[in-house]
Structure 1
Amino acid sequence: MKAVGSFSTFTIRSSEIDFRGQATLPALVNYMHESAWDNTVTLGISMYDLLERDLTWVLQRLRVEMFRYPKHGEQIRVETWASARERVFMHRDFRIYGPDRELLGQATSVWLVMDMVKRQLVSLPDFITALEIMPTEEPLPFAKGKLPALQEPTVEEQILVRWHDIDLNRHVTNTRFLQWALDTTPLEVLEQKQLCEVDIIFRAESVLGDTVVATVAPADEEGVFLHKLSSQETGKELVQAKTSWSPLE
């Protein structure tokens, strides 16, 4: 079977916008997930297909670039395709289009397979590696390398993991992690600047009842912030991220 791309269309809802009336990044990432889910169903490698084998997909890294955020009521088209495959990783790309094929944003992501019983990462199973990857679009550059370490946080918040933070895999959904990371950004940045790029690495899972410590600090570059989420109970790093912000036009 050849792995081909597909698209899904969505209309930005009122519950998904910020005070400017435009879609939030977590909302757009949720749309990317929905589009990816639809694509994996057609390929026979959806999360439900994996769960039948006590396996599941987990997101390891996501890098998103936004050029313009769609507004409330605007219809968008999210295109996605499997761009490459390695022994352990599956790469998936996304492009978000507005009216007249305006490119609003794009993203590259890395996915792993986890054993649901052992809660351990495993190599891609045979029924996935049997797919012939034939990208319908030019692959986007992979997100590679380490992110700068956050040394001295300027903000620290504690977040209790609650019932509605948990997804089908019974751990905190990655869009909630993204939201928690973004929420620690200084208020003046959130109000006066536009998030134009995020690179986020998901290192470990967090489950119901855990306490997550969210921290942030400005990087050496202007308009760039470093984020870290860690477990209060174990001290383990859960998420590392870098965000880039530009002045509002």
Structure 2
Amino acid sequence: MKSYPGTSQFTVRSSEIDYHGKATMPALVSYMQEAAWANTRDLGISMYDLLERGLTWVLQRMRVEMFRYPKHGESITIETWASGRERVFLHRDFRIYTSDKELLGQATSAWLVMDVVKRQMVSVPDFIMEVEVVPGQEPLPFAKGKLPQLQEPKYKEQMPVRWHDIDLNRHVTNTRYLQWILDTVPLEIIDQKQLLELDIIFKAESILGDTIISEAGMGASESILLHRLTSQETGKELVQAKTLWDR
């Protein structure tokens, strides 16, 4: 079977906006994941298809670029397609449009396959490899390479992992990680500036009962923040990210 692009429509709901009336980044990432789920379902390789085999999809990295955030009640279309393979990584791209085909944002992502019992990453199984990757559009540059390390944290918060933070894979959902990263950004930045770019790497899982330490500090310029989430119990780094804000 050849892969093919998928499209999904969403309307920005009141529970998904900030107090400026615009969709939040976690909401938009959630839309993109729903669009990816629908496209993989049509290809026979959705998370449910994998779970029947004791496997699951795990998001390893995502890079998002936003040009304009949709407002409450605005209808958007997300196009998504498998954009390539690289060793054990499967790449998927997204573009977000208005009903008038205005490009609001775009993203590229890298996914792994995990054994749900052993909690270990595995080689891409044959039934996924049999789906031929045929990008619907010119692929975006793969999200890869190292991010700068956070050396001097300036902002810090603690977040306990609770029941509603856990997803179908029985670990913290990645949109909650993203929310915790943004919750640590000081008000004078998150309120007065727009998040233009996000690059986030998911390095390890956390489960119910953990406590997460979210830290942030300045990057190479005033418009860049570096982020880190770690487990208070193990000291393990869970997430690393970089955000770019307008001036």
Q: What is the TM-score when the length of structure 2 is the normalising length?
A: 0.99
C-alpha offsets along residues 32-71 of structure 1, whole Å, 9 cap, x if unaligned? 0110000000100000000001000000000000000000
Partner of 2:38: 38
Partner of 1:65: 65
Query: 2:221 aligned with 1:238, yes or no?
Result: no
The amino acid of 1:238's aligned partner reads L
Which residues in structure 2 correspond to 1:188-207 (within 5 Å)? Answer: 188-207=188-207
CA apart distance, 1:86: 2.8
Which residues in structure 2 correspond to 1:111-126 (within 5 Å)? Answer: 111-126=111-126
Partner of 1:2: 2
Partner of 2:13: 13
Partner of 1:209: 209
Structure 1, unmatched stretches of 5+, are: none
Report how many residues are paired.
247
Partner of 2:157: 157
Structure 2, unmatched stretches of 5+, are: none
Rounded Cα–Cα distance in structure 1 between residues aligned with 2:42 and 2:86: 21
Runs of 4+ in 1 over 3 A off after TM superposition: none
Rounded Cα–Cα distance in structure 2 between residues aligned with 1:151 and 1:172: 25
SS of match in other structure, 1:153: coil
Query: 2:204 aligned with 1:186, yes or no?
Result: no
SS of match in other structure, 2:195: strand
Q: What is the TM-score when the length of structure 1 is the normalising length?
A: 0.98
SS of match in other structure, 1:83: strand
Rounded Cα–Cα distance in structure 2 between residues aligned with 1:195 and 1:96: 16
Rounded Cα–Cα distance in structure 2 between residues aligned with 1:139 and 1:131: 17
CA apart distance, 1:183: 0.9
Partner of 2:90: 90
Query: 2:109 aligned with 1:109, yes or no?
Result: yes
Rounded Cα–Cα distance in structure 2 between residues aligned with 1:50 and 1:61: 20
Q: Cα RMSD over matched residues?
A: 0.7
CA apart distance, 1:222: 2.2
